[in-house]
Structure 1
Amino acid sequence: MQRFTSPRLWTVCCWMFILTCGPSIGPASGFEPNYDESKIPDYTLPDPLVSQDGAPITSAEQWNTVRRPELLDLFEKHVYGVSPKPCPIRHEVVSRKTVFNGLATRSEIDVFFGLADDAPSMRMMTYVPNERSGPVPAFLGLNFQGNHGVDADPAIELNPGWFREGRNGTTDGNKANEKSRGATASRWPVKMILDRGYGLATIYYGDIDPDFDDGFKNGIHGALGGQVADVAPESRWGSIAAWAYGLSRALDCLESESELGVDTSKVAVIGHSRLGKTSLWAGASDPRFAMVVSNNSGCGGAALSRRAIGETVGRINTVFPHWFCDQFTEYNENESACPVDQHQLIALIAPRPVYVASASEDQWADPKGEFLAAAAADPVYRLLGTRGMGGDAPPAKMPAADRAINRGVIGYHLRTGKHDVTDYDWQQYLDMADRHLQ
C-alpha cells in the first residue's frame, strides 16, 4: 500500500480540508458521506456467540476458551494488527508536586519501552487525591495536545515532540508553544475527578507513535517493529494498536510504582475519537483494565462498520492509512466481507463494565451505530452473568439525548452537542465508575 512519507505535506493536506469541512472530517478525496438511513446497505452482523466453525457458544467456558481467543485473533489480523509481546519497562520519576491547594499530588514519570539507555519513552502525568486511606481507582487515557495541554501550570514541561499543526496559534510548525498550555483542559476536568475520589493518569499519544504516516519508522513502531517480523506484513500493528500497547505499558508502570497511589485493579481506560478506538482495543486486548470508556469513537471504534454511514472503512483507511493494519483495506467499501464488526469488539471487554458515548451533532461517527453495537454486545455480557445494558433485554431503540442508559454493565448516552468531551460525559463515566469500581 502506498504511504505518505512527508509529515509536513500530510499535515497541510489534513488542515486544508479540516478548515473547509469541520473538525471531525479528514482531507478531501471526493468522498460524499451518506447520512440517509434508508441508503444503508443490507447487512447481517456476525454473531459473537457462534464460533468460526458454526458451533453455538452457550457457556462462559466456551466463550473464554474458544470464542474470545478466536475473535481477538480476527481483530488482530484483520483490523488493528498484531502487536509485539509486552516489553520490559523501566521508569523515572521526573517531578512530584502538591497541587490544587493541597487537594492532590501530581507526578510526572518517564516510562521507557525497554531497559536500554536509548529506549524510547513516554511522559505519564498522574494526579491522586491526598485525602485517601489507600490506593484509589483511577482513569487512564491518552491526550492529543500534550500533558501541558491538560493543565496550564507552567511547571509542567512543554512536550518537545512532534505535534499536528494546531489552531489558534498553539504550535509553531509541528512544535508546541506556550499558547498550547491548558488548550484541552476542558476535556480533562481534573478537579472534578479528584473530588469524586479518583486518580487520573494521562500521556501524550504522540510520545508513543506520532500521528502521521511514514511507513511505521517512528515511535515505538521503529523501536519494536522487528519483534513482529514473523507476522504477515498485512497483519502487523497499526498506530491504534501501538497507542493501546502504550496504555498497557503505562498500566505496567502504575503496578510497579506503588507510591503513585493508584489501585491498579481498578483502572478505567478512557479515550476520545481516535483515542476512543484505542481505549476499546486496549480494553479488549488487555483484561487488566477494569472498565473501558469510548467517547465519540465512530468508525473503527464503537460504530458498526457494516452500516457504512458517515465515515466508512474505505474513507478512514484512505485518510489515515497508518491507524489500522493493511489487511483492513480489503474491506474498503466492502464492510460485510470483514469477518468481525465492532459489537464483537465491545463484547471482548465482557464481563467488565464498558461505556459508549455519542454526540447528537457528530453524525460522522454514526451515533446510532455506536448504540446498536453496544446493544448487540449485550448477549455476551448476559452469558457471562451480568445484566448487560440492564433490564430483561437491551433497549429496543436509542435513548433520547442526555438520557443515559446506565443500569447495567454496558452504559450508553447520546449527548447534545458536537464531537468533544464535556463535563456531562465525565459525570456519566464517574457515575459508572462509582457503581463498579468504588
Structure 2
Amino acid sequence: MRFHRCRPRLWAAAVFVSVVGLATAALGPQAGAADRLVPAAQAAALVEDDGADCRVSVPGGSASESLLPDPFKRLDGTRVSAKSDWRCRRAEIRELAERSVYGDKPGKPESVTGTVSRTSITVNVGHQGRTASFSAGVDLPSGTGPFPAVIVYGGLGADTSTIKSSGAAVISYDPFSVGREGTARNNKQGAFYSVYGSQSSTGLLAAWAWGVSRIIDVVEQSGGTVLRADATGVTGCSRYGKGAFVAGAFDQRIALTMPIESGSGGVNAFRSIARESGSQPLSSAYSEQPWLGDAFGSYTGDPSALPVDTHQVVGMIAPRGLFIMDNPHIDWLGARSGAVAALGGAEVYKALGAGGNITYWSDVQSGDHCAVRSEWRTPLQQNIQKFLLKTGSSSGTFRIAGKKSANLSEWRNWQTPALSDGGGTDAGTSTGTSAGTSTGTSEGTSTGTSQGTSTGTSQGSTDGSSGGSGDGACTATYRTVNSWSGGFQGEVTVRNNGSSALNGWTVGLTLASGQSISNLWGGRHTGTSGSVTVHNGPWNGTIAANGSVTFGFVATGSSSTAPGDVTCTSP
C-alpha cells in the first residue's frame, strides 16, 4: 500500500467535498429530471490531483475481463456508495492507468517558473538537479481580459476561430518540445525526459500531459493579468486528440477537455478495439510511436487482461466538461469503440449528478480527418460558454452516427449505483458497500441519424415533455432531450410507486405520424412507429422502492408532437 501522491489529506478532501458537493447540489436528482448547469468553477477542481493523498493498494494480479471493468468497484471488491467516495476511487483508476497504460505522470516538479505575456508563455522546470524549458504561443480574442484559454495541441484541435470568437484565448502548444516522436523507447527525448530520464517508461501522452500541467502552473503564478487560471480547456486531433484526452483526465484544473478523432490509444475502449473490424490494432498504436507507456506492450494481444479501460479514464474527467468529437467515416479511427467508452464513462457522470457535462458527437457528414466541421460549431460554443466563460447553461448530448453505433449493454455486467450526497468511506480505506439501486441508467447506443446538418441543436431541452399513467405499481413520463432537423432524442423515466422493489416493467407509447425509432437503449422494444412497447432488460428490471430507471431513444421525424399515451405496467 502506498499513498498515491503526497498532499495533506484533510485539505484535499475538503476541496473535493466542496467542489462535488456544490456541483451535485446545483444539479439536483437525476431520476426523471433534466441535467442542470454546473458552473465551471464547481465542476473543475482547484488542484492538479485531488486524490493525491488517497491510499491505493494494487493487488498483485487481476483476472481477465472481456467486458468493461466496473468503474464503481474498488480494488478491494466493494463498490462506492456516495459521491464523495469517487475521489479515492478515481485515485485507484489513475494508479491502474499509469501502471498499465500510460506510465507515470509525475506531479509538480520542485521548481516551476515562467512568464505569461499577450503573445507567449515560457516554462522553466527544475527537479532533483535537472532542468528543462519550453514555450507556447498565445493568441488573444478581442477584449481586455483576463481571458479563459484553450490549449491546442500541435495546431490541430477544435476550430480556433470559433474558440476566439467565443471569447477564449488560444494557447498553441508544441507537444514535441516536451516529448518527441520518432525516438526509441529506451532513448526518449524532450523536456520531460530531460528531467525524468531518456529511459523513463512513461509514454509520450503522459509526458505531453505533464507539459500541459506545467503551462497551467505558470498561468496560475502569473496573477491572472492576461489569462485566467480557473478556466482552461485543452483540445487536439488524432495523435494530439489522444494527448488532449490524457491531459484532461490527469489534471483536474482543466475545466473542459475536447479530444477529436483520437482513435486507438485515445478515447476508444481497448476491449472494443480488439473486436472492431478495420480499427487500428493496439499493437500498431503501441509500436507506431511511443505514445503509450512501455508496460502497455504486454496487453496489446489481450486487452481483457488490462485492469482498466478508457471508459474509466473518461470517468476521471467527471464531473468536469468533456466534449468528444469522432469521425465514423474512417474505420482506422474506430469510432464505434469511442462511442463504447463514452457511453461507459457517461455512467460515472450520471452517478455524480453531472450527466449534462459530457457530449459525444460522431454524427457528421464529412469524412475528412481533422476537418473543421459545421456540426461541431454550436456545441463547441456552448461548451466554452458553460465551462470556460461560465455563462452558459446548455446540457450535453450524445449524437452517435448510425454506421458506428454502440450498445453499452453488450459491454457491461454492472449497474450504475445511485450515489448518496452524504459522506461515504472516502478516507482511502475502501470499506464502503454497494449502493442498492440503479437510478437513471442509460443503457445502449444514443445513436444519431448521420444528417450532416446538425448545427444549432436544441441541447438539453425539456420541451415536448408529457406525463404518463400506470397500473399503480409504476408510472412512466416522457421528455424530449434534444431535437434537430429531421430527428430528436427522447427519454422515458419509469418510476416505482410502491414501498417494495418492483420486478419487471412494460411501457407503451404512441409515436406521432412520421416519427420512427431508429435506436433505443435501456430496454427492449417491439415496433418502431405508431404504438411501441418497451420492456425492461435483464439489467434494469428491478427498481427499488420509490426508485426509477430510464430508457432513451433516437427517432426520425418532427419533435413538435411528443409521443402520447405513455403507460406503465408491472407483472
User: One fold, TM greater than 0.5?
Assistant: yes
Pair 1:58 & 2:87 matched = no
**Distance (whole Å) between structure 2 residues aligned to residue 45 and residue 118 of structure 1:** 40
Structure 2 runs not aligned, ≥5 long:
1-64, 390-571
1:315 and 1:361, CA in 2 relative to 1: closer, same or farther beyond 3 A? Answer: same
Match of 1:111 among 99, 104, 123: 123
Q: Is the 8 A contact 1:128 1:260 kept in 2?
A: no
Partner of 1:77: 99
Shift of 1:418: 2.4
Pair 1:319 & 2:288 matched = yes
**Distance (whole Å) between structure 2 residues aligned to residue 294 and residue 142 of structure 1:** 10
Q: Which amino acid aligns with 1:135?
A: P
Pair 1:245 & 2:268 matched = no
Alpha-carbon displacement from aligned partner over 1:364-402 (angstroms, at most 9, x marks no partner)? 12111111211111221122121x2xxxxxxxxxxxxxx
Partner of 1:131: 143
Q: CA RMSD in A?
A: 2.5
Partner of 1:280: 245
Partner of 1:46: 69
Q: Which amino acid aligns with 2:209?
A: A
Partner of 1:211: 181
SS at structure 1 position matched to 2:326:
strand
Partner of 2:219: 254
**Distance (whole Å) between structure 2 residues aligned to residue 312 and residue 60 of structure 1:** 36
Pair 1:352 & 2:375 matched = no
Alpha-carbon displacement from aligned partner over 1:259-278 (angstroms, at most 9, x marks no partner)? 65222211111121122111
Shift of 1:437: 2.7
Shift of 1:91: 2.0
Match of 1:409 among 357, 370, 374: 357
Pair 1:202 & 2:183 matched = no
1:107 and 1:51, CA in 2 relative to 1: closer, same or farther beyond 3 A? Answer: same
Match of 1:377 among 327, 342, 345: 345
**Distance (whole Å) between structure 2 residues aligned to residue 53 and residue 127 of structure 1:** 48
**Distance (whole Å) between structure 2 residues aligned to residue 432 and residue 221 of structure 1:** 31
**Distance (whole Å) between structure 1 residues aligned to residue 81 and residue 371 of structure 2:** 38
Shift of 1:345: 0.5
**Distance (whole Å) between structure 2 residues aligned to residue 362 and residue 121 of structure 1:** 37
SS at structure 2 position matched to 1:354:
strand
Pair 1:291 & 2:256 matched = yes
Q: Which amino acid aligns with 2:357?
A: V
SS at structure 1 position matched to 2:325:
strand
Q: Is the 8 A contact 1:360 1:418 kept in 2?
A: no
**Distance (whole Å) between structure 2 residues aligned to residue 120 and residue 285 of structure 1:** 21
**Distance (whole Å) between structure 2 residues aligned to residue 435 and residue 138 of structure 1:** 13
**Distance (whole Å) between structure 2 residues aligned to residue 53 and residue 189 of structure 1:** 44
Match of 1:428 among 374, 379, 385: 379
**Distance (whole Å) between structure 2 residues aligned to residue 331 and residue 115 of structure 1:** 32
Q: Is the 8 A contact 1:84 1:224 kept in 2?
A: no
Q: Which amino acid aligns with 1:70?
A: E
Partner of 1:86: 108
Shift of 1:79: 0.3
User: Please, what TM-score do these two structures have when normalized by structure 2?
Assistant: 0.52
Alpha-carbon displacement from aligned partner over 1:108-157 (angstroms, at most 9, x marks no partner)? 2332223899933222111223424x4222211221xxxxxx5xxxxxxx
**Distance (whole Å) between structure 1 residues aligned to residue 311 and residue 224 of structure 2:** 38
Q: Is the 8 A contact 2:175 2:208 kept in 1?
A: yes
Shift of 1:224: 1.4
**Distance (whole Å) between structure 1 residues aligned to residue 294 and residue 350 of structure 2:** 34
Q: What percent of counterpart residues are identical?
A: 28
1:371 and 1:260, CA in 2 relative to 1: closer, same or farther beyond 3 A? Answer: farther
**Distance (whole Å) between structure 2 residues aligned to residue 371 and residue 344 of structure 1:** 13
**Distance (whole Å) between structure 1 residues aligned to residue 224 and residue 291 of structure 2:** 35
Q: Which amino acid aligns with 2:318?
A: A
Partner of 2:13: none
SS at structure 1 position matched to 2:80:
coil
Tell which has more relative contact order, 1 or 2 (C-alpha 8 A, sep 6+): 1
Partner of 2:310: 342
**Distance (whole Å) between structure 2 residues aligned to residue 69 and residue 115 of structure 1:** 24
**Distance (whole Å) between structure 2 residues aligned to residue 91 and residue 304 of structure 1:** 37
Pair 1:418 & 2:368 matched = yes
Alpha-carbon displacement from aligned partner over 1:76-134 (angstroms, at most 9, x marks no partner)? 000000133312222256xx6xxxxxxxxx512332223899933222111223424x4
SS at structure 2 position matched to 1:412:
strand
Shift of 1:194: 2.0
Q: Is the 8 A contact 2:179 2:193 kept in 1?
A: no
1:265 and 1:421, CA in 2 relative to 1: closer, same or farther beyond 3 A? Answer: farther
Q: Is the 8 A contact 2:101 2:292 kept in 1?
A: yes
1:115 and 1:256, CA in 2 relative to 1: closer, same or farther beyond 3 A? Answer: farther
Partner of 1:121: 133
1:89 and 1:46, CA in 2 relative to 1: closer, same or farther beyond 3 A? Answer: same
1:84 and 1:338, CA in 2 relative to 1: closer, same or farther beyond 3 A? Answer: same
1:281 and 1:121, CA in 2 relative to 1: closer, same or farther beyond 3 A? Answer: same
1:274 and 1:345, CA in 2 relative to 1: closer, same or farther beyond 3 A? Answer: same
**Distance (whole Å) between structure 2 residues aligned to residue 118 and residue 284 of structure 1:** 27
SS at structure 2 position matched to 1:348:
helix
Q: Within 5 Å, which residues of 2 pair with 1:92-171?
A: 92=115, 106-114=118-126, 119-132=131-144, 134-143=145-154, 150=155
SS at structure 2 position matched to 1:83:
coil
Q: Which amino acid aligns with 1:213?
A: T
Partner of 1:395: none
User: Please, what TM-score do these two structures have when normalized by structure 1?
Assistant: 0.67
Partner of 1:155: none
Greater shift in the superposed pair: 72-81 or 376-385:
376-385
Could you say which structure has the higher strand fraction? 2
Partner of 2:296: 328
SS at structure 2 position matched to 1:270:
strand
Q: Is the 8 A contact 2:245 2:258 kept in 1?
A: yes
If you compute each CA radius of gyration, which structure gives the higher value, 1 or 2?
2
Aligned residues: 316
Q: Is the 8 A contact 1:292 1:354 kept in 2?
A: yes
Q: Is the 8 A contact 2:180 2:188 kept in 1?
A: no
Match of 2:162 among 188, 192, 196: 192
**Distance (whole Å) between structure 2 residues aligned to residue 436 and residue 326 of structure 1:** 34
1:89 and 1:379, CA in 2 relative to 1: closer, same or farther beyond 3 A? Answer: same
**Distance (whole Å) between structure 2 residues aligned to residue 190 and residue 412 of structure 1:** 19
Structure 1 runs not aligned, ≥5 long:
1-41, 97-105, 144-149, 151-183, 389-407
